[in-house]
Amino acid sequence: MKRSIKYLLLLTILALPFVIKAASPKDTAAPGPDVICSAQDKVILDRIFTDLLPKKDSSMGQMMVLVGKEFLGTPYVAHTLDKRDTEALIVNLRELDCTTYVENCLAIARTIKSGKPTFRKFTHELENIRYRNGKLDGYLSRLHYFSEWISNNEKKGLVGDVTYQIGGKPFPLDLDFMSTHPDDYPQLKKHPEWIPEMAQREKEISGNSFFYISKRKFAEAEPDIHDGDIFALTSAIKGIDIMHVGIMLKENGRVHMMHASSKAMKVIIGDITMEDYLNGRKNVSGMMDIRPLPPKD
C-alpha cells in the first residue's frame, strides 16, 4: 500500500506544470515565449524520440502515423490551452483534444525528421504551427479557426492543402461563431474589447478560397488520400468552418480516422471507415485533405 501511494505521488509530481523561460531558436540571447509543461510531458516526448528516431528516414506521412500511434489511449480533454489568463506555449502530451493531437503529432514528426530531436526544437515547431506566422503574441495570435490554421501553415511551408487536387469543390465561409458567442470562450468573455478584432479576423479568413470533398464524392477522392494526411471535417453549421480534425490512415484499402475522440474520451483508430463516419454525421458536410510536409533542412 505504501509503495502504491508513493507511486501515485510521483505521477502527481511529474504531471505538475512548470514554466520554462524559452530562448529564441534563432537568438539564444533573446527571450522566447513562456513554455508551460510538466516533467511527465518531457518523459513522454523523450520516449517518442527514442522509439522513432531510428525511423527518421520514413516519409513524412509514415512518420505522422507512427507518432500518432504513440498517443493511442491518451485521454481526451477539451480546452487544455484555455486554462490560463495569459497566453503561453502550453505543452500537454498527457491530455489531448482533436486540434492539440494534430499539432503535437506534426511538431514531433517534424522534429524527428529534422534529425535534431530536442525539447527546444519541438517547442519551436509547436509555436510555429499553433500561432499566426509562427509567433506567439497573445490570445488573438493563436490560429483558432482551423481553416486559417490550414492556410497559414501552408504559407509557412509546413503543410499542403491537396483538397482541390483530389477533386475538391469551393467551400464558401462566413465565419462569426467566436465573435457572436464570446461567452463560450473564457478569454473573450473576460476581454470583450478583443471581440471586434476577432470579428475582423473572421471576415479576413472568410475572404480566402477553400475547397472541400463532399460526403457523396468522398469515395471518388479516397484513392488519392495518403497515410498520414490530416483530415478536417467541414461544418454544415453557419458560422463554423471545421467540426473535427485528425490523421488518416488506410486499412484494407479504406481510409480510417486516428483522432482524439470526444465520444471514446481517448485517442483511437476508428473501427468504421471515414466514409461511414461522414455519412453518419448530419452536421458534417465533407472533409479537407491536408498533407504534412517535411522540414526543408
pLDDT tens by residue, 209-240 = 999 999 999 999 999 999 999 999 999 999 99
Length of the chain measured in residues: 297
Place of cell 471576415: 203
Residue 83: pLDDT band (50, 70, 90) is: confident
Q: Which long-range contacts (CB under 8 A, 24 or more apart) does 275-278 make?
A: 275/215, 275/218, 275/219, 275/222, 278/215, 278/218, 278/233
Name, in order, each residue with C-beta under 8 angstroms of 270's C-beta and a sequence gap of 6 or more: 256, 257, 258, 259, 261, 277
Alpha-carbon distances of 177 from 25, 189, 235, rounded to whole Å = 35, 13, 12
Tell me the chain's radius of gyration from C-alpha atoms: 19
How many distinct helices (H) and strands (E) make up the chain?
Answer: 11, 11
State the pLDDT at residue 33: 73
How far is C-alpha 132 from the geometric centre of its chain's CA atoms?
14
Structural domain spans, the chain:
2-173+208-292
pLDDT tens for each residue of 103-133: 999 999 999 999 989 999 999 999 999 999 9
How far is C-alpha 192 from the geometric centre of its chain's CA atoms?
26
Angle in degrees, 0-180, between the axes of helices 98-113 and 60-70, rounded to the nearest 10? 130
b/e burial code for range 204-231 (CB count within 10 A of at least 16 → b)? ebbeeebbbbbbebbeebbeebbbbbbb
pLDDT tens for each residue of 5-33: 444 444 444 555 656 654 433 433 334 57
Maximal C-alpha separation, the chain? 62
SS3 36: strand
Average pLDDT for 240-268:
97
Angle in degrees, 0-180, between the axes of helices 98-113 and 119-130, rounded to the nearest 10? 130
Query: Can you say whether the dihedral through the CA atoms of 75, 104, 213, 225 is positive or negative?
Result: negative
Average pLDDT for 270-285:
97
Half-sphere exposure of 45 (CA within 13 A, CB side): 24
Alpha-carbon distances of 149 from 53, 132, 143, 160, 175, rounded to whole Å = 27, 8, 5, 11, 14
Higher pLDDT, 207 or 11: 207
In CATH, the number for domain 2-173+208-292 is: 1.10.3670.10
